[in-house]
Amino acid sequence: MYRDRRVVVVMPAYNAARTLRRTYEEVMAQGIVDELIVVDDASTDETARIAATLAKTKLIVHERNSGYGANQKTCYRAALAAGADVVVMVHPDYQYTPKLLPAMVALVGGDVYPCVLGSRILGGGALRGGMPIWKYVSNRVLTLAENWLLGSKLSEFHTGYRAFSAELLRALPLDENSDDFLFDNQMLAEILWRGSEIAEITCPTLYFPEASSINFSRSVRYGLGCLATGVEFRLARLGLRASARFPA
């Protein structure tokens, strides 16, 4: 709990058996998490079996692999159904440190911001943490373009470490979003469309073989999708074409 706010951490998991327990232990060591929800997207390893042994953890298993975005949709529905006031998404691959949980929860639970991102770019730690140079350059170029299209000033749109108020999650048309990686980007665009503020804090990250990543071809598709979302946002803002994500 944080100031009588129920804190739920969600983990969208796929083949995370090698890092899940380590991530879980550090999450729970922060002492503020009421419940952890692991959604296993039909992993082919021992992810579900390990998750089933973790205390204060609810396990949901997709019968078939549905995609990263679909996994998050299940995560957020389950967190809201569990009575969460603050929801934090932590990837179970230990790329993002759970030690930032108290700070992120305090900003959301203290009604300072409805959304907080753990940014790999603030502080310049991405390359030191092992982010491949092509990913770093792509991140910077895409973020520059998206900030222009969406009228924002974020350091990055592509972090997977995020905290939300339950009120904000309920207000977003999440079911309109992609079932793949583009979900993350569309979600932030929807938050900005509402005029809600997004805070960022510096987050050190680690890149190692067990950390999840997407390959180059999927990264290209993701990048094009991000730009398409930005154009969709801009057209709606200009009153030229509204959409389900960005209604008039």
Q: Are 199 and 107 in contact (CB under 8 A)?
A: yes
pLDDT of residue 129: 74
> 134 or 33, which is more confident?
33
Query: Does the pLDDT at position 74 exceed 60?
Result: yes
pLDDT over 70 (residue 65): yes
Q: What is the pLDDT of residue 123?
A: 78
User: Cβ neighbours of residue 230 under 8 Å, at least 6 residues apart?
Assistant: 145, 146, 148, 149, 150, 189
Inter-helix orientation angle 216-237/133-150, to 10°? 10
**Tell me, what DSSP letter sits at residue 248?**
-
Could you give all domains of the chain from N- to C-terminal order, each with its CATH number?
A: 7-237 (3.90.550.10)
| Residue 39 parent element (H or E) | strand 35-40
The confidence score (pLDDT) of residue 35 equals 97
Please give the mean pLDDT across all residues of the chain.
93
Provide the token pair at 198: 């997004």
Record the pTM: 0.93
Residue with tokens 């924002």: 152
Contact 51, 36 (CB under 8 A): no
Distance CA 115, CA 112 (A): 9
Return all residues near 146 (Cβ < 8 A) that are at least 6 apart. Answer: 152, 154, 157, 185, 226, 227, 229, 230
Q: How far is CA 193 from the centre of its chain?
A: 18
Q: Give the mean pLDDT of 140-155.
A: 96
What is the predicted pLDDT for the residue at 130? 77
Q: Which two tokens stand for residue 82?
A: 């569990």
209 or 152: which leads in pLDDT: 152
pLDDT of residue 148: 97
- Report, as an integer, the average pLDDT of 37-63: 97
The pLDDT assigned to 18 comes to 95
Q: How confident is the model at residue 169 (pLDDT cuts 50, 70, 90)?
A: very high
**Segment 150-160 mean pLDDT:** 95
pLDDT above 90 as % of the chain: 84
Q: What angle do the packed helices 133-150 and 182-193 form, to 10 degrees? A: 30
Looking at per-residue pLDDT, the higher value among 124 and 47 belongs to: 47
- The count of residues in the chain is 248
